[in-house]
Amino acid sequence: MKLHMRRKTRNEIITHIVLIIIVFLVLAPVLFALAKSTQTRAEVYHFPPKLGPGTAGILNYKTVWYQFDLGLYIKNTLLVAGIVMFFKTLFSMTAGLGLVYFDFPFKEWVFYFILFTLMMPTEIMIVALFNLVSDIARQFGVENSYAVLTVPFLASATGVFLFRQHFSSIPADLADAARVDGAGPIRFLWSILIPMSWNTIAALALIQFIYMWNQYIWPLVIVRENKHQLIQVGLRSLTNQQDTTNWGLLMAAAILAMIPPMLVFILLQEQFTKGFALGREK
């Protein structure tokens, strides 16, 4: 018995050690970036490399935030991601409602029509999309750049698929009861479906947030003025330019660019895994 216990403790210690090593390896690049983000140019270029914190302190962060517009880019991206999250969730939900709680001709075909777009990432048709959006923007005046960054992303096959799955799993009598109460589909959506869908909503919201936060190629080609630019392209502009890169600044920018998705992730993580468990748990 004692021996068994001892072996168990030993196993646990080994597990701890293994996990600590893995965590360190996973964390190392960011710790490195964090240390470098506080170093001056000279400290960054020191050889052999200095791994501790530098003397620039918070200055690098202030510089990228104000003088290299990181603050602006982060604000823009939050705005764009927020708009997309809201409308995409709404549209996916109503589409799910239409597909699950109504009968209409070609229903299967409509679903496949939506599902098929899973295989059409924006990147594939970037050239044609660029031409199309440029033409539309020219027709309606080019000022509103947030529209070109959001409207093409407001529909989602993933979202429709998730809500369709989720709604189908909700017991059928609920809708019947609603109908007996005389509730229409919109009230049904509002007072029954939404309260029962928080996990799915959270899952979709998180996916969309990260998706928009990581947008790179589309804003790179379509955004005309820096005042509408998004964070990833802003990060790129710190390294891709005609002057020597200040690595301390760049690392500060990278750390800043990590924080918002991390916060959203921490908040929604649990709902996310539940809502996106792919029918394995209901």
Partner 1 sequence: MQTSFRRSLVLVALVMLVAVVVSACAATAPAGGTQTKVVEVTKVVEVTKIVKVQKQAEEVIPEGATVIDFWHAFGGGRKLLIERMVADYNYTHPGTYVHVENKGSYRDTLNAAILAAQQGNPPHIVQIFEIGSQLALDSGIFAPFEDSAPSWVHMDDLIGGVSNYYRFNGKFYSMPWNSSNPILYYNKDIFRAAGLDPENPPETFEEMLSACETIVSSGAAKNCISWPLHGWFFEQWMANMGAELADNGNGRDARATSVNLTSDAAKEIVTWWKEMYDKGYYAYSGKLEDWDGADAIFVSGQSAMEITSTSDVVNRQNDAAANGFELGTGYLPYPANSERMGVIVGGASMWMTAGHPDNEMKATADFITWFTNTENAIRWHKATGYFPIRKSSVTVLEGQDWFKRNPAYRAAFDQLLNTKDDNATRGAVIGAFPEVRTIIEQAVEKVLAGQTSVDDALAEAKTQADKAIVDYNKSVE
Partner 2 sequence: MSTARFKGKWLPWLFLLPTLIILLVFLYYPVVQTFRLSFYRVAFLGLKTKFSGMENYLNLLHDTGYHQTIVSTVLVAMAVVIVGLGLSLLIAMIANQKIHGANIYRFLLIWPFALSPAVAGVVFLFMFSPGFGAVNYLTSVVTGHELNWLGEPKLAITLVIMASIWKNLGYNIVFYLAALQNVNTEVLEAASIDGANTWQRFWRVTFALLSPMTFFLLITNITYSFFDIFGMIDILTKGGPLDATNLMIYNLYRDAFEYYKTGLASAQSVILFLLVVGLTLIQFRTSGRQVYYGG
Residue for token pair 């539309």: 136
Counting DSSP H helices and E strands in the chain, the numbers are: 14, 0
Q: Which of these ranges, 61-69, 139-147, 193-201, 239-247, lies near partner 2 under the rule CB under 8 A?
A: 239-247
- Give residues 206-235 in contact with partner 1 (rule: CB under 8 A): 209, 221-222, 224-227
Residue 251 sits in the site that holds partner 2 (CB under 8 A): yes
Could you tell me if residue 115 is left (phi over 0), alpha (psi between -120 and 50 degrees) or otherwise beta?
A: alpha
Alpha carbon distance 130, 140 (integer Å): 15
Single residue of 33, 34, 35, 59 touching partner 1 by CB under 8 A: 59
Per partner kind, with CB cut-offs from 5 to 8 A, the member of partner 1, partner 2, none near residue 244 is partner 1
CA atoms within 13 A on the CB side of 112: 4
Could you tell me if residue 230 is left (phi over 0), alpha (psi between -120 and 50 degrees) or otherwise beta?
A: beta
Smallest distance, partner 2 to C-beta of residue 85, A: 15
Alpha carbon distance 190, 180 (integer Å): 16
Residue 92 sits in the site that holds partner 2 (CB under 8 A): yes
Residue 55 sits in the site that holds partner 1 (CB under 8 A): yes
Residue 279 sits in the site that holds partner 1 (CB under 8 A): no
Alpha carbon distance 130, 137 (integer Å): 10
- The residue among 214 and 271 lying less far from partner 1, judged by its C-beta, is 271
CA 204, 155, 211, 60 torsion-angle sign = negative
Residue 253 sits in the site that holds partner 1 (CB under 8 A): no
Residue 278 sits in the site that holds partner 2 (CB under 8 A): yes
Centre a 10 Å sphere on the Cβ of residue 65 and count the other Cβ atoms it contains. Answer: 18
Smallest distance, partner 1 to C-beta of residue 194, A: 11
Positions touching partner 1 (CB under 8 A) are 40-42, 45-47, 55-56, 59, 62-63, 66-69, 72, 75-76, 78-79, 82-83, 85-86, 130-131, 134, 137-138, 142, 198-199, 201-202, 205, 209, 221-222, 224-227, 236-246, 264, 267-268, 270-271
